[in-house]
Amino acid sequence: MAQLPEKDIRGLLIDLDGVMYVGDHPVAGAVSAIEYLWERAIPFRFTTNTTTKSLESLRLKLNRLGVPAESHEIFGVIQVAQSLLRSKGDPTCLFLLTEDPLSDFSEFRTDDEKPDVIVVGDIGKVWDYRLMNRLCRMVMNGSELIALHKGRYWQTENGLRVDIGAFVAGIEYVTGVEARVVGKPLAEFFGLAVDSMGLERSQVAMIGDDIESDVGGAQRAGMLGVLVKTGKYRAEIAA
């Protein structure tokens, strides 16, 4: 943190998974780095593509790990998806989410047969042929496909694990329809996170463990990208 390049960096976007914690274990130095920012009143947002937890559960997890973050300091893909769905009026939705994050979308109508919108998040091991087949048919019949993100893999306590991007790409391949992706690495996502701090993109650095979603995305959005060597970082990928 103390060795940021000599740019006019006034604020930070900080990834959660692989940067602040892996599983239920904080990454060494992460908590004290946040304390450093708070002490100096340097604004930051935890920017996360996490779809396995509601925003409130994410905040509580950070609290448990020793980071008493406030709601406004978490900028997740869930908030952006909420805004996007609201902008569509009153769409019927099929959410591929587990119960906890689903609670963040309780304001929207659901339809399991012919939804206006399919929202793809993390449902763990529930993915199978039948579900893929059902979703592909819905998309071919006109349902819009929204992917909360298109991550390839992520770091768990037991190694790398296939992420939802594989299934999103599968549906795209079958249907020939491209999903609308909401989270990192989209420039729009980073822009909204930066706006929430009242800063310019050139004044903000993004710190993450994903060279594409975090660092590449931030750079394309006109920000400084900083790759950490924790989480899913692998030297051979960064080389």
122 near Mg ion, rule: CB under 5 A: no
Query: Is the distance from CB of 37 to CB of 61 less than 8 angstroms?
Result: no
Name the 3-class secondary structure at 180.
strand
Report the nearest approach of Mg ion to the CB of residue 1 (Å): 17
| Interface stretch with Mg ion, choices 17-25, 28-36, 179-187, 196-204 (CB under 5 A) | 17-25
Rounded least distance, CB 21 to Mg ion, Å: 10
Region binding Mg ion by CB under 5 A among candidate stretches 20-28, 120-128, 134-142, 201-209? 201-209
CA angle, corner 3, sides to 36 and 199, nearest 5? 65
Nearest CB to Mg ion, comparing residues 14 and 94: 14
Q: How many CB atoms lie within 10 A of CB 140?
A: 13
Q: Distance (Å, rounded) from C-alpha 149 to C-alpha 234?
A: 21
At residue 26, φ and ψ (nearest 5 deg) are -65, 145
User: If binding is defined by CB under 5 A, does position 15 make contact with Mg ion?
Assistant: yes
Quick one: 47 or 54, whose CB is closer to Mg ion?
47
For residue 163, give the nearest of 113, 112, 213, 91 by alpha carbon: 213
Query: Alpha-carbon distance 133 to 47, whole Å?
Result: 32
Q: Rounded CA gap, 126 and 32, in Å?
A: 37
* Least distance CB 50 / Mg ion (angstroms): 9
Rule CB under 5 A: say whether 91 interacts with Mg ion: no
| Stretch in the footprint of Mg ion (CB under 5 A) among 10-18, 21-29, 145-153, 159-167 | 10-18
Q: Which is nearer to Mg ion, 104 or 209 (CB)?
A: 209
Q: Which of 11, 18, 185, 225 lies at the binding interface for Mg ion (CB under 5 A)?
A: 18
CB nearer to Mg ion: give 59 or 149: 149
Nearer residue to Mg ion within complex by CB, 163 or 209: 209
- Residue with Cβ nearer Mg ion (21 or 108): 21
Between the two ends of the chain, the Cα-to-Cα distance in Å is 22
Q: Are strands 25-26 and 21-22 parallel, antiparallel or unpaired?
A: antiparallel
d(CA 203, CA 215): 15
Q: How far is the CB of 151 from Mg ion (least distance, A)?
A: 9
Distance from C-alpha of 140 to C-alpha of 87, rounded to nearest angstrom: 23
73 forms part of the interface with Mg ion (CB under 5 A):
no
**Residues in contact with Mg ion by the rule CB under 5 A:** 15, 17-18, 209
